[in-house]
């Protein structure tokens, strides 16, 4: 049943005293966020950002965790639509899985805002994204400079990427590679794609890279918590002093790691701010507005030299500290 028809039927039943109208329409004041996985700090920060502005606007708020499963994501979308929610914010498990959710929501008249990852197609209100290519290019440029300063410009480097089925993964990988190439560093020894996005997974990836390429001197890890697995693997192999690490995203642990040089550079997205802007775009659409189809959120390039100056902003927009 179409959402309008369902609302009409429900209103009729309520008018006849067959339903409690307050309970029936409670969900119509609810915004939900479909997230790939709350195990990563990045998605928890996005969830906080969406919730803060949704609640401030008087909406109830609920988060559905898809556990990096396309099937669970679709079931979550079906459950949300069955609740007759006002709108949905989604960070898809992959760009290829988003269109099925968008089509389902469109059939039921529910507006959707995409926050990060992207989609291969479908109708949506707005797409909130970081400039992943530009951010990764900035990371690559700083990383290349550090490698050259150590005399490692002719040595191989490795990448541990997020899924390359995600548009942001493609942009992140291409931006980093292009910056390295522009600096004359072209010897990519290995590329491993994350599936579980855990420290253990990246630990094993880095172990394999070090075994296959003993003269490896650089590793770029494309998201935050798995970077800790790379650092642990380097320490276990006693290579922490001659293999440089670059990262993307950010968690509070990165502050000291950047200061100590264990991470050379991190391209920090601002997930809490992204969540805020995703909620704002959805709220605008619910009021009849037309938010921009694409909204870019800047990436902060954090290094040993500037991390102290970035911390006050990062505590809020990157780490989502102090927010419930």
**Band of pLDDT at residue 1, cut at 50, 70 and 90:** very low
204 and 175 in one domain?
yes
107 and 94 in one domain?
yes
Q: Does the CA dihedral 134-165-303-40 come out positive or negative?
A: positive
Whole-number average pLDDT of the chain: 92
289 and 206 in one domain?
no
141 and 264 in one domain?
yes
Give the number of other Cβ atoms within 10 Å of residue 256's Cβ: 11
238 and 286 in one domain?
no
pLDDT in tens, 97-121: 999 999 999 999 999 999 999 999 9
139 and 122 in one domain?
no
Residue numbers of the domain that contains 276: 3-130+270-296
Measured CA to CA, the distance from residue 174 to residue 156 in angstroms comes to 17
106 and 139 in one domain?
no
117 and 49 in one domain?
yes
CATH code for position 58: 3.40.50.2300
Those residues with Cβ within 8 angstroms of residue 225's Cβ, 6 or more apart along the chain or in another chain: 40, 41, 197, 198, 199, 251
**For the whole model, what pTM was predicted?**
0.84
pLDDT in tens, 184-239: 999 999 999 999 999 999 999 999 999 999 999 999 999 999 999 999 999 999 99
pLDDT in tens, 40-53: 999 999 999 999 99
């Amino acid at each position: 049943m179409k959402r309008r028809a369902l609302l009409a039927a429900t209103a009729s039943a309520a008018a006849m005293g067959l339903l409690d109208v307050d309970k029936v329409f409670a969900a119509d004041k609810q915004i939900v966020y479909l997230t790939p996985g709350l195990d990563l700090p990045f998605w928890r920060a996005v969830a906080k950002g969406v919730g803060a502005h949704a609640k401030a606007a008087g909406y109830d708020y609920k988060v559905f965790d898809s556990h990096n499963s396309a099937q669970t994501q679709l079931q979550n979308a079906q459950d949300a639509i069955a609740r007759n929610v006002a709108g949905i914010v989604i960070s898809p498990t992959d760009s290829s899985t988003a269109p099925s959710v968008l089509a389902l929501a469109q059939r039921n008249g529910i507006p959707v805002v995409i926050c990060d990852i992207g989609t291969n197609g479908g109708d949506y209100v707005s797409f909130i994204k970081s400039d992943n290519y530009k951010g990764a290019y900035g990371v690559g440029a700083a990383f290349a400079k550090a490698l050259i300063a150590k005399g490692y410009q002719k040595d191989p480097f490795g990448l541990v990427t997020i899924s390359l089925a995600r548009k942001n993964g493609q942009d992140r990988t291409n931006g980093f590679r292009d910056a390295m190439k522009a600096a004359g560093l072209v010897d990519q020894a290995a590329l491993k794609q994350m599936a579980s996005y855990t420290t253990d997974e990246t630990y094993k990836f880095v172990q394999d890279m070090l075994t296959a390429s003993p003269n490896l001197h650089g590793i770029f890890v494309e998201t935050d918590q798995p970077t800790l697995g790379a650092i642990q693997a380097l320490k276990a192999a006693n290579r922490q002093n001659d293999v440089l690490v670059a990262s993307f995203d950010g968690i509070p642990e990165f502050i000291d790691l950047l200061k100590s040089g264990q991470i050379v550079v991190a391209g920090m997205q601002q997930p809490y701010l992204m969540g805020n802007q995703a909620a704002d775009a959805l709220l605008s659409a619910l009021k009849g507005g037309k938010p921009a189809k694409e909204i870019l959120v800047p990436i902060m390039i954090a290094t040993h030299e500037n991390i102290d100056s970035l911390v006050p902003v990062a505590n809020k927009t990157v780490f989502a500290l102090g927010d419930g």
